[in-house]
């Protein structure tokens, strides 16, 4: 009896069980695969761990502030080399060396986060900052707040003596005012504490220097550049 029962029922019951096993295994493979795929994606685009992603405020601020700093370093470097005014040379050296170190910190973070240390060529500046205003130079190039145009840099290079010193102070003041705006926003909105901290330090440092630069311009009988 059992001999006959077993043969007649075994094929269909074991067939049903193996189907179930196949389906279950496939579902598991699918779930594991999907999960792994999503993890790989998230990790690689920088959203899966503690690293900020390409569209984050942290990355946008770091890339843009680095470029903003690089121009301040250029401006200050010129004044440190060429100004005949000791007080201006000292301030220029301070700005140049501080911002050079900070720009290195920013590029170091970006490298660790797996992001480009300069914003990619097809990406406009200031995407990360709500309400940001970029300005365009005569050729339509989009510039971050406070950035000098190529023409203004050429003009500064050509000037000498007090004219050079005053124009440097004017460009540096406007540059700081723009940087201050960017740093204040990042100090409030960046996700990572160390990013907010540096942004805060940049904002308060440049705020103090804005006051100083304004007084230095006036002490030399000039006015800040018109907006």
Three-state secondary-structure class, residue 19: helix
Other beta carbons less than 10 A from residue 132's beta carbon: 17
5 sits in which H/E element: helix 2-44
157 in contact with another protein (CB under 8 A): yes
Angle ∠(129,126,91) on CA atoms, nearest 5: 100
**Count of alpha carbons within 13 angstroms of residue 207, beta-carbon side:** 10
Which residues ranging from 5 to 64 are in contact with another protein (CB under 8 A)?
A: 7-8, 11-12, 15, 19, 22-23, 26-27, 29-30, 33-34, 36-38, 40-41, 44-45, 54
Q: Which of 90, 42, 99 is nearest to 68 (CA)?
A: 99
149 in contact with another protein (CB under 8 A): yes
The binder of another protein chosen from 90, 111, 215, 223 (CB under 8 A): 111
Three-state secondary-structure class, residue 35: helix
* Residue 166: CB minimum distance to another protein, A: 18
Q: Which of 31, 166, 30 is nearest to 87 (CA)?
A: 166
Q: By C-beta, is 61 or 196 nearer to another protein? A: 61
Which positions touch another protein (CB under 8 A)? 3-4, 7-8, 11-12, 15, 19, 22-23, 26-27, 29-30, 33-34, 36-38, 40-41, 44-45, 54, 66-67, 70-71, 73-74, 77-78, 80-82, 104, 107, 111, 114-118, 120-122, 137, 139-141, 143, 147, 149-150, 153-154, 157-158
């Amino acid at each position: 009896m059992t001999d006959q029962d077993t043969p007649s029922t075994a094929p269909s019951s074991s067939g049903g069980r193996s189907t179930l096993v196949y389906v279950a295994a496939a579902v598991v493979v699918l779930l594991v695969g999907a999960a792994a795929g999503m993890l790989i994606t998230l990790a690689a685009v920088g959203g899966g761990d503690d690293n900020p992603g390409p569209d984050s405020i942290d990355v946008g601020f770091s890339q843009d502030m680095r470029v903003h700093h690089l121009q301040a370093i250029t401006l200050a470097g010129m004044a440190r080399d060429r100004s005949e005014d000791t007080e201006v040379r000292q301030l220029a050296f301070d700005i140049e060396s501080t911002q050079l170190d900070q720009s290195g910190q920013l590029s170091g973070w970006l490298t660790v986060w797996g992001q480009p240390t300069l914003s990619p060529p097809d990406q406009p500046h200031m995407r990360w900052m709500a309400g940001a205003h970029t300005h365009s130079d005569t050729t339509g190039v989009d510039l971050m707040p406070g950035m000098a145009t190529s023409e203004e840099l050429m003009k500064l290079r050509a000037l000498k003596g007090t004219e050079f010193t005053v124009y440097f102070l004017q460009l540096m003041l406007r540059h700081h005012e723009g940087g201050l705006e960017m740093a204040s926003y990042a100090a409030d909105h960046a996700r990572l504490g160390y990013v907010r901290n540096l942004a805060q330090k940049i904002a308060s440092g440049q705020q103090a220097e804005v006051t100083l630069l304004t007084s230095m311009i006036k002490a030399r009988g000039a006015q800040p550049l018109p907006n």
